Structure 1
Amino acid sequence: MADVAWHSVDLAPVVLVHGTEPLIAARALERLKALARERDPEVAIHEIGGESAVAGALAQVTSPSLFGEGRFVLVPDLQSAPESLVNEVSSYIQSPEDDVTLVLVHRGGNRGKKLLDALKKAGVQRVAADPLKRAGDKQTFVTAEFTRAGRRIQPDAAAALVDAFGTDLSELAAISRQLIEDTTPEGGQQAAPVTLEHVRGVTAGRVETTAFAVADATIAGREAEALVLLQQARLAGADPVPLVAAMASKMRGLAKVSTPGASARSLGMPEWMVKNLSRDARGWSDRSLAHALNAVAQADHEVKGAGRDPQWSVQRMIIEISRARRTR
């Protein structure tokens, strides 16, 4: 079974969309339907599910058409399909029709495992509709959302969106749509790529975004700016824990790219992220980096209950890291 990404899946006689993330599954289906209509504007779209999932349903819609139009057949809930339909699918995949695209959606679980194994053995194209956990995968999702709309977003802008809204994929998709609408010019003018400034306009006051702004200023050694941003974060209601978490994330990134032989591939990071972190890392020595990591570890310990004043712990961390960066 050949795994393909939801944003690059192509038409094939049989496609399996498999996983528990409904939004990824929906995006894969939208792409496949659009490709089917692009290939044949007269394509007939059939869905076999619920009451229509009866014996013989698949054979009826996949039989050669008198009018010669292409057919797009969707089974939206393979994991709960009746045994008769599962058996039909098992037989059909042995010799699929050339002018039919059969899309099977399995939303997880063990039911239908025998058919899943058969699909794998047959080499059917599979889209993994799994929850996105890595920041890089979420940034790819954002970029794909803009591409679907015929727009572009700069890498640092996509990263900022993920920082602010990456805990909820549906929210991330919604804010992407809002940005697309807000930045589309009237009168048919060509839209410019969405930038970090555009993102900051819609994420103002968002705790995660504020936290990473504090971290960026701190690792650059801009102590005064970082402390001002920290005060703004407090006024916006930022809790000390995510502030320290953002700093820890940045410092871990610096440590990773400072490792001899580190590359985007070995670190599992996008090229642009490694490039930016490597630029920041040039201002750090091994000694100053170790001092900063110790400061983060101490602050993390204190804001989670070991310290008397979490706000002061964060402020002290920022001062120590900023000064470590300047002294090297």
Structure 2
Amino acid sequence: MSDVEWHSVALAPIVLVQGTESLIADRAVQRLRALAKEADPSVEIHGLVGEALGPGALAQVASPSLFGEPRLVIVPELQSAPDALVLELLDYLKAPESDVTLVLVHRGGNRGKKLLDALKKAGVPRVDASPVKRAADKQTFVAAEFARAQRRIQPDALVALVDAFGTDLAELAAISRQLIEDTTPDPGEQPAQVTVADVHALTSGRVESTAFAVADSAIAGKEQEALQLLQQAQLAGADPVPIVAAIASKMRSLAKVTAPSANARTLGMPDWMLRNLTRDARAWNDRSLARALEAVARADHEVKGAGRDPQWSVQRMVMEICRARRAG
């Protein structure tokens, strides 16, 4: 079985989409639908769900057609398929029909393991629909969303968007669509590349976006600017906990790039991000980084209940990061 990305999966006699991230699974199925219609507008599309899951369900829609039109057959809940269908699928796997694309969507769990093992042994292409956790993978997801809309987005804008909305993939997809719509020009005009300014205009109220801006200023040692940004966030009612979490994430990334033999692959980040962080890290040394990370850890402890004044804890953390940077 060979893994393929949802945004590049191609039509094949059988395709497996496996994982608990519904959005990725749905995107893969949507792409296969679009490819099937593009290849032949007369394609027949069948979904094996509910009452359509009776005995002989697969044979009924996948048997050679009298008129020879292609068919796309989708099993959207393979993990819940009745035993009769699983047995039919095992038999079909031995000799798939040439004019049928069978899409099997397994949304997690151990049920149907025998069939999954057989699909793997047969080398069926598989779309991994596991939860997207790494920032780099979320950025790839957003880039694919823009590519689907035939739009481009700057690398820095991509990072800013994931920083602001990366906790939930569905929200990230929705805000990407919103950003695409907001920056779509009038008919006849060439769409411009989406910029950081476009993202900031849309995410100005997001705590995460503000927090990463604070972190960028603090890492650069710009204490006054960082404190002004922090004050704006606090006056807007931003909770100290996500602010500290965002700044901690940025500081940890900065520390990671200073490790010996660090590279984009081992750190799970794109090359350009590694270059930017490496550039920022040149102004730091082990001692100054340790001091800044200690300030972050103390603030995290205090804003979660150990301190009397969470806002002061965050402010002190920002000042200590700036001073650690200047001392380095």
Distance 2:290 2:178 in 1: 41
| Superposed displacement of residue 117, structure 1 | 1.4
Aligned to 1:101: 101
Whether the 8 Å CA contact 1:46–1:61 is kept in 2: the answer is yes
Whether the 8 Å CA contact 2:212–2:246 is kept in 1: the answer is yes
Whether the 8 Å CA contact 1:151–1:180 is kept in 2: the answer is yes
Distance 2:263 2:26 in 1: 33
Distance 1:75 1:127 in 2: 14
Which has the larger displacement, 294-303 or 23-32?
A: 294-303
Distance 1:99 1:176 in 2: 36
Secondary structure of 2:41 counterpart? coil
Aligned to 2:320: 320
Distance 2:206 2:268 in 1: 27
Q: Within 5 A, what are the aligned runs for 1:222-241?
A: 222-241=222-241
Aligned to 2:24: 24
Distance 1:243 1:75 in 2: 43
Which has the larger displacement, 188-197 or 215-224?
A: 188-197
Secondary structure of 2:105 counterpart? strand
Aligned to 1:78: 78
Paired letter, 2:326: R
Distance 2:240 2:149 in 1: 38
Aligned to 2:269: 269
Distance 2:321 2:79 in 1: 52
Secondary structure of 1:314 counterpart? helix
Aligned to 2:292: 292
How many residue pairs were aligned? 328
Whether the 8 Å CA contact 1:157–1:196 is kept in 2: the answer is yes
- Does 2:12 match 1:12? yes
TM-score calculated relative to the size of structure 1:
0.96
Distance 1:109 1:134 in 2: 22
Q: Within 5 A, what are the aligned runs for 1:161-240?
A: 161-240=161-240
Which has the larger displacement, 304-313 or 94-103?
A: 304-313
Aligned to 1:132: 132
Distance 1:78 1:306 in 2: 48
Distance 2:309 2:60 in 1: 70
Paired letter, 2:122: A
Which has the larger displacement, 139-148 or 63-72?
A: 63-72
Distance 1:325 1:19 in 2: 43
| Superposed displacement of residue 228, structure 1 | 0.3
Paired letter, 1:223: E
Which has the larger displacement, 279-288 or 26-35?
A: 279-288
Secondary structure of 2:209 counterpart? helix
Secondary structure of 2:6 counterpart? coil
Paired letter, 1:209: S
| Superposed displacement of residue 39, structure 1 | 1.8
Aligned to 1:2: 2
Aligned to 1:62: 62
Whether the 8 Å CA contact 1:207–1:236 is kept in 2: the answer is no
| Superposed displacement of residue 144, structure 1 | 1.0
Whether the 8 Å CA contact 1:12–1:101 is kept in 2: the answer is yes
Whether the 8 Å CA contact 2:134–2:268 is kept in 1: the answer is no
Distance 1:296 1:326 in 2: 17
Secondary structure of 1:73 counterpart? strand
Q: Within 5 A, what are the aligned runs for 1:247-286?
A: 247-286=247-286
RMSD across aligned positions (CA): 1.3
Distance 2:188 2:25 in 1: 32
Deviation by residue 1:216-236 (Cα, 9 ceiling, x = unmatched):
110011110000001001012
| Superposed displacement of residue 250, structure 1 | 1.2
| Superposed displacement of residue 5, structure 1 | 1.5
TM-score calculated relative to the size of structure 2:
0.96
Whether the 8 Å CA contact 1:221–1:325 is kept in 2: the answer is yes
Whether the 8 Å CA contact 2:153–2:195 is kept in 1: the answer is yes
Distance 2:32 2:281 in 1: 43
Paired letter, 1:81: A
Distance 1:231 1:16 in 2: 50
Paired letter, 1:8: S
Which runs of no fewer than 5 residues in structure 2 stay unpaired? none
Whether the 8 Å CA contact 2:215–2:247 is kept in 1: the answer is yes
Deviation by residue 1:6-26 (Cα, 9 ceiling, x = unmatched):
112111110011111111111
Secondary structure of 1:252 counterpart? helix
Deviation by residue 1:191-241 (Cα, 9 ceiling, x = unmatched):
111111101111111111111111111001111000000100101211222
Which runs of no fewer than 5 residues in structure 1 stay unpaired? none
Deviation by residue 1:287-319 (Cα, 9 ceiling, x = unmatched):
221221122122222222222222112111111
